[in-house]
A = this chain, B = another copy of it.
Amino acid sequence: MSCWYNISAPEDDIVVSTRIRLARNLSGIPFPSRMNSEQLEQLKSKVKMAVSESNTPFAKTLKYIDMNAVPEVEINAMVERHVISPEFAAKSEGRAIILSDDESISIMIGEEDHLRIQVILGGFQLEKAYDIAERLDTLLYDRLHFAFDDELGFLTECPTNLGTGLRASVMLHLPVCESSGEIAPLSENISKIGFTVRGMYGEGSRSAASLYQISNQITLGISEKNAVDNLKVITAQLIEKERGLRNNLERISVEDTVFRALGTVKSARKISGKEMMNLISRIKLGTSMGIINSDKNPFGILIENQPFMIMRRYGEMPPEERDIKRAQTLREEFKDSSL
């Protein structure tokens, strides 16, 4: 089964992925931070039951996974695939998740809140992702009793999630906005209207792969639909901005950048995780601009060559050996990409 990140999707020249996350808690059980093991078991079995009782074809794609049965390498690989959060991975003992076949739907049970419902899709698909999240929310709501207050909305452990409990985000590839120095001013403008920009997969202010996540900050006093609609407008503007800047690039310079990156992945014998970010970013710019052909989604390849994703395939190994395996895999993946 192909994962969401290996399927081509709308506007995926710039939008890598769309994510909707809902924070939900069951009434009558304390928040995870104060829950005892008995209450955790009770929570898991209620959720498991709620999903399995639903006879919709939709619910049938979902499986319940006991995290105790998942090896450490795979737990970390799930973080790299965005299936679970790093925080959940760190305290996954006794926890469980619900996961769809293509991994586009995941529900973490016992993260910061009882339930963290996540829908992640490739490309720019806010409405579709929101629609799926709502169906999941309804499916569970019908069978579980969510903690809800008429004034505050959904109750959550952290007050920043109170209200809708919704976090909508898009992951954008903005290499030319970045190189033109546009990220800082864009970020400032976006924060004024209640959204946040942060680099992804990168340390410091610059994102290693020119990936930037835009997400809503506000969950209280705004409807779910409004939050999603606002993000949609902002994203559309950013797409136009990045495309416009790309069209103004000097062709020979961008070709040089792109072809060098492709030449490197086709020939290098060792590639660190950090270098891969940079190379994949440039190759993705090349495929998006029609400079090079590749039937693969470069960002899918990026996910599949994160450290634990490599060790999931080949077994545990030190970083230097991973760099060699990564270079091997990248050579293989891009061997038919034409210069």
Stretch at the interface among A60-68, A100-108, A131-139, A259-267: A259-267
A301 beta carbon closer than 8 Å to chain B: no
Contact with B along A300-339 (1 / 0, CB 8 A): 0000000000000000000000001001000000000001
Question: A269 is contacted by which of B252, B266, B324 (Cβ under 8 Å)?
Answer: B252
Contact check, B267 vs A253: say whether CB atoms are below 8 A apart: no
Question: A267 is contacted by which of B252, B263, B268, B269 (Cβ under 8 Å)?
Answer: B263
Q: In the bound complex, what is the Cα–Cα distance between A339 and B260 (angstroms)?
A: 15
A243 beta carbon closer than 8 Å to chain B: no
Q: How large is the interface on A (under 10, 10 to 19, 20 to 34, 35 or more residues)?
A: 10 to 19
Write the nearest CB–CB distance from A253 to chain B, whole angstroms. 7
This protein's copies in its complex: 2
Which B residues lie within 8 Å of A270 (CB)?
252-253, 256
Contact with B along A156-199 (1 / 0, CB 8 A): 00000000000000000000000000000000000000000000
Contact check, B263 vs A266: say whether CB atoms are below 8 A apart: yes
Write the nearest CB–CB distance from A245 to chain B, whole angstroms. 20
Q: In the bound complex, what is the Cα–Cα distance between A322 and B255 (angstroms)?
A: 16
Q: In the bound complex, what is the Cα–Cα distance between A158 and B327 (angstroms)?
A: 57
Q: Considering the complex, which residues of chain A in the window 141-155 have a beta carbon less than 8 Å from any beta carbon of chain B?
A: none
Contact check, A259 vs B252: say whether CB atoms are below 8 A apart: no
Contact with B along A246-290 (1 / 0, CB 8 A): 000000110110011011101111100000000000000000000
Q: In the bound complex, what is the Cα–Cα distance between A171 and B269 (angstroms)?
A: 30
Chain B residue with the shortest CB-CB distance to A331: B339
Contact check, A269 vs B259: say whether CB atoms are below 8 A apart: yes
Contact check, A268 vs B264: say whether CB atoms are below 8 A apart: no
Q: In the bound complex, what is the Cα–Cα distance between A303 and B331 (angstroms)?
A: 32
Question: A260 is contacted by which of B252, B259, B264 (Cβ under 8 Å)?
Answer: B264
Some 5 contacts from A to B, beta carbons below 8 A apart, are: A252-B270, A256-B269, A256-B270, A263-B268, A264-B264
Q: Give A residues with C-beta under 8 Å from B.
A: 252-253, 255-256, 259-260, 262-264, 266-270, 324, 327, 339
Q: Which 5 A-B pairs have the closest CB atoms?
A: A263-B267, A256-B269, A263-B263, A259-B267, A256-B270
